[in-house]
Amino acid sequence: MIVSPLRPDLISEVERLMALGEPFVRPRTSSDYWLYARLFSSTCPVALEGGTLAGAVIAFRSQDDPTDVYVQDVMVHPDYRRRGVARLLLDSVRTRAVGWGCHRLYLTSEPENRPAHRTWLTLGFRNAPGDRHVDGVQVLADFKGPGKDRAVYELPVSRQP
């Protein structure tokens, strides 16, 4: 498995991959992916096996708090799940964040997305305190806009001393 930054020539494959993520991941437009490949590629890694796209992560360093990296999408092709692809991709983002001196990766998922919840916890993220619980998951109301309640997960990162 090779991990590399998102490139413009992979955009249509990334769109097809993201379309398989419904209902939890939805594809963005090709011009969004073009921007990610042109401006944010070092935090938008893709995983390729023999030229096939196995997974992709879209993440960005915050400008409001440059010690934060926000992970917008994590998507692994159904044929490649439970093979460590999400771990590999998030490790790549983590390494980039550590290089910048960032302190935290964070992401959100929908409370009913149990595989995602299990994945984040296994990878060392903590479910941030919310204002209610849904089946044991802490959830913050309106986190992504009105009516868009989300479970928030964060992973502290730092350079090894």
Count of residues engaged in binding ligand COA, rule: CB under 6 A = 20
**Residue 119 in the binding site for ligand COA (CB under 6 A):** yes
Nearest residue (CB) to ligand COA, 101 versus 112: 112
Minimum distance of ligand COA from residue 115's CB (angstroms):
3
Nearest of 98, 142, 107, 101 to residue 128 by alpha carbon: 107
In sequence order, which residues have a C-beta less than 8 Å from that of residue 88 and are 6 or more positions away? 1, 3, 47, 55
Token match 């990766």: residue? Answer: 105
Whole-number minimum distance, CB 128 to ligand COA, in Å?
14
Question: Judged by CB under 6 A, does residue 122 bind ligand COA?
Answer: yes
Q: How far is the CB of 99 from ligand COA (least distance, A)?
A: 22
- The beta-strand segments (E) located in the chain are 2-5, 45-49, 52-61, 68-76, 104-109, 126-127, 132-134, 137-139, 151-156
Does residue number 24 form part of the binding site for ligand COA (CB under 6 A)?
yes
* Residue 157 CA: distances (Å) to CA of 42, 72, 154, 160: 17, 17, 9, 9
Query: How far apart are CB 117 and ligand COA at their closest, in Å?
Result: 8
Per CB under 6 A, the list member of 109, 127, 137, 155 interacting with ligand COA is 109
- CB of residue 86 to ligand COA, shortest distance in Å: 3
Binders of ligand COA in range 61-100 (CB under 6 A): 74-76, 81-87
Contact 44, 93 (CB under 8 A): no
Angle at which helices 30-39 and 11-19 cross, to 10°: 120
Question: What does the binding site for ligand COA look like in residue numbers (CB under 6 A)?
Answer: 21, 24-25, 74-76, 81-87, 109, 113, 115-116, 118-119, 122
